[in-house]
Amino acid sequence: MQDVDTLIFARWVIPVEPRGAVLEDHAVALRHGRIVAVLPAAEATARYQARERVHRPAHVLIPGLVNAHTHAAMSLLRGLADDMPLQRWLGEHIWPAEHRLVDRDFVRDGTRLAAAEMLQGGTTCFADMYYFPDTVAETAAEMGIRAVVGMIVIEFPTAWAQNADEYLSKGLALHDQYREHPLVATAFAPHAPYTVADGTLDRIRRLADELEVPVHMHLHETAQEITDSLAEHGCRPLARIQRLGLLNPALMAVHMTQLEAPEIAALAAAGVSVIHCPASNMKLASGACPVAALAEAGVNLALGTDGAASNNRLDVLGEMRLAALLAKHTRADPAALDAGAALEMATLGGARALGLGEVTGSLRPGKWADLACLALDPPGALPVLHPLSQLVYAADRSWVSDVWVAGRAQVRDHRLLTESPEALAALARDWATRVMAADAQEGNADG
């Protein structure tokens, strides 16, 4: 018999590759943090001797979910200013609060809270775009969650950097620090076309090509963004990005709610990945990403939550369900974005977008053992006629029982192993007081 570290037995295993496959009474063998085999349970018992055996007889085992776009530290701003237009939300509440509060402590504590929420919801990997990315990287590593940390670039000064040169310099130092890290990778993160100048974007393209890292950018998020770009640059943002050489397989284009047919064709031809954030776009009334048309064109699709300030939940399971339903609604086609395609967006599609498709995102031997297990025995899950459909259309993150990242258990029997719930609650209460005080201070200043 062969020795392995862990054998996980589940009623159903959904490997994502191939799309739509559901394996009954299977097991996944793990050794040294990686998947060794996916095979029938009886065969696993006969072939492997495991240090630990995990039996989940009413559960479905899937690849860990990938949150391909978030601003993790903004979990501390959850619920600050709901139900208002985007520019008022940003200008009167979010940006002033960030100006008053964002420092290393804010980013560390907000990322801790976000990582705990994501892990308990089955997310094993996230892509972040925020200030103090070195603190995000350090906190993600401590929490045991995989992260692609954005080397944020914006043209105006913040607590993190004063100008584009400093943003890039600090970002490159971060890249060098984590280039061999098993959990943390980096991506360039120019905020958006309207906040980053052509010269800076050109430098980012050259550096991204040289270092072979992704470029993570908000793009075509709102109709106003398109109008402003036409007025200032004489072209739509995507055309400007293409002219600067950034329309390529390294680009992670976030939101993309405003697209015309020729642009969809250009994205497909260039190999760009589109990150769909349905809840945030719906909540802020930004528009709907044309997911069905993008999928038909062959564009790689992924899911993101955006930050908790504009979504309120860092819940990729919820985004997956919304994405499937919204695609059907906007296309007037109930067959648009079926369950298998939706799960792929939430897993392998996200991994591919982040440049990690060969190491995570599906249950394939040789990949990192990033896994999530969900109980399909709550009343809302029964009867289980089709496990994949149940996962996409019915599952709730409270059903997540176990999570592994690189073979290490991070959630067991619904309990987070890396953080104390009481400590997180105390931390959140303290920040809630500070956030509300800063928001009130801004209101008094305006008055």
All structural domains of the chain, each given as residue ranges with its CATH number in brackets, are: 2-63+369-416 (2.30.40.10), 65-353 (3.20.20.140)
Q: Which pLDDT does position 381 carry in this prediction?
A: 95
Q: pLDDT tens across 195-232, in order?
A: 999 999 999 999 999 999 999 999 999 999 999 999 99
Average pLDDT over residues 131-155: 98
Record the tokens describing residue 314, joined without a space: 């860092």
Q: pLDDT tens across 67-90, in order?
A: 999 999 999 999 999 998 877 888
Percent of the chain with pLDDT over 70: 99
For the stretch 344-348, contacts whose Cβ atoms lie closer than 8 Å and that sit 24 or more positions apart, written own/partner, are 344/16, 344/19, 345/276, 345/301, 345/302, 345/303, 345/320, 346/65, 346/66, 346/302, 346/303, 346/316, 346/317, 346/319, 346/320, 347/16, 347/62, 347/63, 347/64, 347/65, 347/66, 348/16, 348/17, 348/63
pLDDT tops 60 at residue 447: no
DSSP string, 102-134: -SHHHHHHHHHHHHHHHHHTTEEEEEE--S-HH
Q: pLDDT tens across 77-130, in order?
A: 999 999 988 778 888 999 899 999 999 999 999 999 999 999 999 999 999 999
Measured distance CA(6)–CA(56) in Å, rounded = 13
Measured distance CA(367)–CA(361) in Å, rounded = 8
Q: How confident is the model at residue 44 (pLDDT cuts 50, 70, 90)?
A: very high
Measured distance CA(281)–CA(286) in Å, rounded = 5
pLDDT tops 80 at residue 308: yes
Q: How confident is the model at residue 135 (pLDDT cuts 50, 70, 90)?
A: very high
Q: Is the dihedral of CA 410, 411, 415, 416 positive or negative?
A: positive
List, in sequence order, the alpha helices (H) in 258-335. 261-270, 278-283, 291-297, 308-311, 316-331
Question: How many CB atoms are located within 10 Å of the residue 80 CB?
Answer: 18
Q: Which pLDDT does position 37 carry in this prediction?
A: 98
Q: Which pLDDT does position 440 carry in this prediction?
A: 86
pLDDT tops 70 at residue 266: yes
Q: pLDDT tens across 335-366, in order?
A: 999 999 999 999 999 999 999 999 999 999 99
Q: Which pLDDT does position 243 carry in this prediction?
A: 97
Q: Which pLDDT does position 86 carry in this prediction?
A: 78
**Regarding beta strands 65-70 and 400-405, do their DSSP bridges make them parallel or antiparallel, or are they unpaired?**
unpaired
Residue 374 backbone dihedrals phi, psi, to 5 degrees: -125, 135
pLDDT tops 60 at residue 393: yes
- Residues present in the chain in total: 447
| Of 446 and 154, the one with more pLDDT | 154
Strand 23-31: give its sheet, edge to edge: 34-40, 23-31, 2-13, 48-63, 371-375, 400-405, 408-412, 415-416
Average pLDDT over residues 13-21: 97
Q: Which pLDDT does position 443 carry in this prediction?
A: 62
3-state secondary structure of 40: strand
Mean pLDDT of the chain: 96
Average pLDDT over residues 61-72: 98
Q: Which pLDDT does position 445 carry in this prediction?
A: 59
Measured distance CA(47)–CA(3) in Å, rounded = 9
